[in-house]
Amino acid sequence: MIDSSTAAEPPVITSPLSYAHFEQMAALELKYYGADFITPAEEAYRWYCKHAYTTTAATVNSEVVGFVNLFPILPAEFEKLLCGQLNDSELTAESIVDIHADEEPLHMFLSCILIEPAYRRTGLTHRLLRAAIAPYLPVQHRCRLIATDNITPEGADFSRHFGFTAQGTSEHGSHLFVQPFSSFISKVFASQ
């Protein structure tokens, strides 16, 4: 649990991440929405072991205080996402595209961004986003659209703030947003 004395310590972008970190991330998510919207820690860790670029996390004393899940998903999965038929909890490691495998276009999904309240408005959001984007800079010419699927009002506010355009509501009641990946990169690196 984060308290005011811990909040004075600066978070560190942490790599490599352990399975315990993924359990902490799932516990953080449970503070804000139900388990039916959360990829189980076991599967999220499997994503990470197969494609380390899927997750970027910040820790204080080995405790996760914020994280981002950003990765390309298969075209069919991306289409389901845009149609409101994909729930994050259904994603598997096999849903994620290997950015090194070929030269096909990449369809990006910002699946989750979560910052503990004590670390909001400290610049950690931008640090995490920039670190999460970094692996995609060499292949950004292949990255087409980026989508978000927001369960909370704060998530929808985040998407609007970073230039996403509303696309409607999903079958599970979340709010979908999309924009070109190049625009998202520009917005993240232009803002503080």
**Residue whose C-alpha is closest to residue 38's, from 84, 96, 88, 91:** 88
- Residue 2 pLDDT more than 60? no
Residues in the chain: 192
Say what the pTM is. 0.93
Give 160: exposed, middle or buried? Use CB within 10 Å, 0-12, 13-18, 19+.
middle
Lateral strand order in the sheet of 55-60 = 12-14, 55-60, 63-73, 106-115, 143-150, 175-180, 165-169
Largest CA distance in the chain: 48
Per-residue pLDDT band for 192 (boundaries 50, 70, 90) equals: low
Q: Is the sign of the CA dihedral 128, 25, 156, 167 positive or negative? A: positive
What pLDDT digit, counting tens, does each position of 127-140 carry? 999 999 999 999 99
Count Cα neighbours of 5 within 13 Å in the Cβ-side half-sphere.
1
pLDDT of residue 5: 45
Tokens at 106, concatenated: 């990449």
Per DSSP (E only), the strands in 1-76 are 12-14, 55-60, 63-73
